[in-house]
Chain A
């Protein structure tokens, strides 16, 4: 080969595996930069930024933090719109919840392939480990990602390369296959030992995966949103709001998002120009957003439920303020609904 400096783009999730696979190639003298795709469902940031109880936790974006530890550049790509077709029509279906992992990985590798073509890079690496995840990291599905993304043998998985056929960068001698690894299975011990060896002490190990779609509660809220709407459209606001508050649907036509604490109240307050909202005036209470359509009777029910979550829950009356998205305000006084009248099935 005439080139002697080869460039790889590494899919950085913010977790340990992509950190290790990147370091393996940096150790071989390959120029590596990171790429991170923002689908809107990523666990990063949002929730930590919202909830007050998480205030003490450092609010950092793990992908950026990993890139900084590795000393590489990171390109964060907004794929919110394009990702919709992946989530809505996954060829390979969903995992345990609404996570279309196999299609998702294929999509991300395809985007990375487009990126390397545009930016004159040579190949793509990921932190995948064979047998680690039930859907996308199996011996039979890993080649599917390489094939369907179009990346083919330009896709190298340094942590388990020895279980896979030689890729183009290995064949060309850009990367020494001997120095790549043969990690396999669900145990995290080999990764932790390697992290220790490489001197990484602080790293994040997300339990479920890289996004909210693997979360059962989140997935239930997403399905509820689609059902209520009668179609499967969603906006970024929709999917962010699914991460915040208690979601209560007393009727098919509307749901309430009830802040669980001050941080969430403040966050929901920022949405009051887009949705109707209820706040208690006579007592301290949470901010509640109303999503959907309500008639006069529904409005009373919504106010009674809101009152139930306020300090006035045991009083005979609570006064609230209803604000519509045009900032028009009206006050309503109601008797808080009894605890046993808030039906368990209302909780989404």
Chain B
């Protein structure tokens, strides 16, 4: 069901990384995207659920959706530059 949220196809695999690496990977991924681009970050560290949205808020990017299954957190982000 989590896969439904990713219709744009761009995905960042941040699984098995611990905080703050998922944030660092997200930050570096966004550098190569344009404003309006959407992508999904896939994480296993539950801390990512608060850290990535926090990083988005301070940098002005939009969190479109957050889904959590037993092992994974998926966060859909729209880049705002």
Residues on A facing B (Cβ under 8 Å):
36, 38, 42, 44-46, 48-50, 58-61, 63-65, 67-68, 71-78, 240, 270
Select one of A42, A61, A71 contacting B51, CB under 8 A: A61
- CB pair A60 B21 closer than 8 Å: no
Smallest Cβ-Cβ distance to B16: which chain A residue? A270
Smallest Cβ-Cβ distance to A48: which chain B residue? B47
Give CA–CA (A300, B45) in the complex, Å: 34
A-side contacts of B44, CB under 8 Å: 270
* B58 on the A face (CB < 8 A): yes
B-side contacts of A58, CB under 8 Å: 50
Smallest Cβ-Cβ distance to A69: which chain B residue? B58
Smallest Cβ-Cβ distance to B55: which chain A residue? A64
Q: A38-B21, A45-B19, A78-B24 are in contact. Are A60 and B50 (CB under 8 A)?
A: yes
Give CA–CA (A87, B52) in the complex, Å: 29
CB distance from B66 to the nearest CB of A (A): 14
For the complex with contacts A49-B19, A61-B51, 8 further pairs of A-B residues with Cβ separation under 8 Å are A44-B20, A49-B18, A59-B19, A60-B50, A68-B54, A68-B57, A72-B58, A75-B27
- CB pair A61 B18 closer than 8 Å: no
Give CA–CA (A261, B20) in the complex, Å: 23
A-side contacts of B16, CB under 8 Å: 270
CB distance from B70 to the nearest CB of A (A): 11
Residues on B facing A (Cβ under 8 Å):
16, 18-21, 23-24, 27, 44-47, 49-51, 54-55, 57-59
- CB pair B51 A240 closer than 8 Å: no
A-side contacts of B58, CB under 8 Å: 64, 67-68, 71-74
Q: List 9 A-B contacts (CB under 8 A).
A: A49-B46, A59-B50, A61-B23, A61-B54, A64-B23, A64-B51, A67-B58, A68-B54, A73-B59
Which 9 residue pairs of A and B lie closest in terms of their CB atoms, listed nearest first? A45-B19, A59-B47, A64-B54, A61-B51, A49-B47, A46-B18, A49-B45, A78-B24, A76-B24
- CB pair A61 B19 closer than 8 Å: yes
Give CA–CA (A341, B12) in the complex, Å: 48
B-side contacts of A78, CB under 8 Å: 21, 24
A-side contacts of B20, CB under 8 Å: 36, 38, 42, 44-45, 61, 63-64, 76
